[in-house]
Each structure stands twice: as C-alpha cells, then as structure tokens.
Amino acid sequence: MRALLLAIVAVAGFGCGDHAATTRGFDPIRLIGDPGIDRTKPPFLTWGAVVAVDNVPRPVLSASTPLAPPSEVRTKDDGTRTVRATIPAETKAVPWVVFETVTTHAGKSKTMRYWPVTATMAGVAYEVGLVDNVVKDGVPSIRVWPVPDLATRDVETGPITVPPHAVLEVGVALEQISWDTTIMPVDMTVAAVVDGTPRTLHTERIEVRKKEYQRWVDLQVPLDALAGTSVRFRFTARPSMGPTAVVSLPVWADPTIVPATPKPAS
C-alpha cells in the first residue's frame, strides 16, 4: 500500500525552489520535493513516503522504512506457538528498533504487539510467543522498524525566496508504531535559517498520550517577516527533555508555502 501511495505522490509532482509571482499571488511552493534537501542520511528512511495517522494518509518529508526479516513459526511440545526472526544486523546503525509481530490474512496485515529493542540485539535471533485467539487464520510474521536518533533526522531545505503575504502550512504527528514507545513529549520545531542563523518560527509539543495528538496536527506559520528574504527552512524534532536517542518516529506532512488567506472585512 505504501508503494502504491508513493507512486501516486510521484505522479502528482512537487514544486520547490524560487517561484515567480503570479496574478493570483504565487503558486504554492511544496517543500517535500526540494532538491536542496540532503537525503543521504540517516539510513532506513523513505523520503516522500506516505504515512497514515488515524487512517488519514499524507505525504511526508521522511519516514521510517520497516524491514521484514524471514520469520519462522514454531510449535512447542505443549502446543503453544512462537514466531522467530533475526533482527537485521544492519540495524546496529541506529540506537533502537521497534519489534512488531503482525498477522496477515487475505492480504491485510494487522499488528498484534510491538515493543522497543536496543541496537545491541542487531543480528540476534528473537523469538516471541503467539496468542492463537489473536492470530486466528492469519499468518504470523515480524517487522522491524529502525528508529534513528532524532538529532540525525533534522531536515533543511535549499534556499527559497519567501513571497510576500505567505504562510507555511505543515502537518505534524508521530508514526503510530511509536505511540506507545514515546515516553517524553516531542517538540517539533520549524525554523528559518537566514545567513546561517536559525530563527524559530513555531514549536508544537506533541504529547501522544493526549487524544488530540493521536492524529495529524495542522500548523499555519505566518512568513510576513521573511518576505523577500532567501531562507532555508529547518525542521527538527526533540524530546522535551533528555537525550535525543528516543524510541519515537515524528513525521512532517507536506510542508507548503501558500498565499495567506485575506482576513474578512470587519
């Protein structure tokens, strides 16, 4: 499904860079496909992926790429069943992975359980028990979600000249596979970098324990103060306190610079 959605997004195309003003104001500038973004690191990310949060799919700057190592279902002497897989050795490049057991039936996969596993388990076979009344007729298997250090996931665009009367629209959320493993709130910050100096434009604290953050949160960031200025937009996510190597997967949905909506006459 993710591959199909990616193809749809690719066909739609993305705008980026400097855009000329039009009689309508200016054409929307979609940052998701900006060629100035460094997409070489960290590993295990899909750029321009489509992520569903609360059943709403949206294209994002980057998202974790789940791995599907070969899985083996075993039946013990007492009749209980387990599923076993080796955590890919290459995941030692990240501090954490989320280990997920899933069951697939009629082409549809459903999560049974998931939990965090440290990088020390990379290359190690991991075996967990199955609850048959959950598995039912499905085929059990395992997925592994690499979780990079948040400090390595900062995204900075190339230079963009901000049009007058512009607003940056962007959605923020956490990938659902990391909801239970996100212990501390995550501060998602949009900054403008001018002449090498970052200036915070907006910070949204995602507290996924609260229901209002178990969905996309749409932000509108006014850019009037930057009109006519060449800016690099920087998107960062940090835990509200403590180290940045946390088991959390924040995502930025389709950041786009659009004309500000005129205020209604009073």
Rounded mean pLDDT for each run of 10 residues along the chain, 266 residues in total: 44 40 73 96 96 97 96 85 93 96 84 92 91 69 96 98 97 97 97 96 97 97 97 98 97 97 69
- Separation between Cα atoms, residue 6 and residue 28, nearest integer Å: 20
In the block, tokens 């039009």 appear at: 22
Cβ atoms of 155 and 61 within 8 Å: the answer is yes
What pLDDT score was predicted for residue 138?
78
**Reduced to 3 states, what is the DSSP secondary structure of residue 209?**
coil
What CATH topology corresponds to 66-147? Immunoglobulin-like (2.60.40)
- HSE of 176 in the Cβ direction (CA atoms, 13 Å)? 14
- Separation between Cα atoms, residue 7 and residue 165, nearest integer Å: 33
What pLDDT score was predicted for residue 86?
96
**pTM for the model:** 0.86
Output the six-digit token pair for 183. Answer: 């212990």
- Separation between Cα atoms, residue 51 and residue 5, nearest integer Å: 9
What pLDDT score was predicted for residue 99?
95
CATH 2.60.40 in the chain is located at 66-147
**Structurally, what CATH architecture does the domain formed by 2-63+150-259 represent?**
Sandwich (2.60)
Q: Which residues on adjacent β-strands are paired with residue 141?
A: 102
CATH 2.60.120.260 in the chain is located at 2-63+150-259
Residue 132 dihedral angles phi and psi, to the nearest 5°: -60, -35
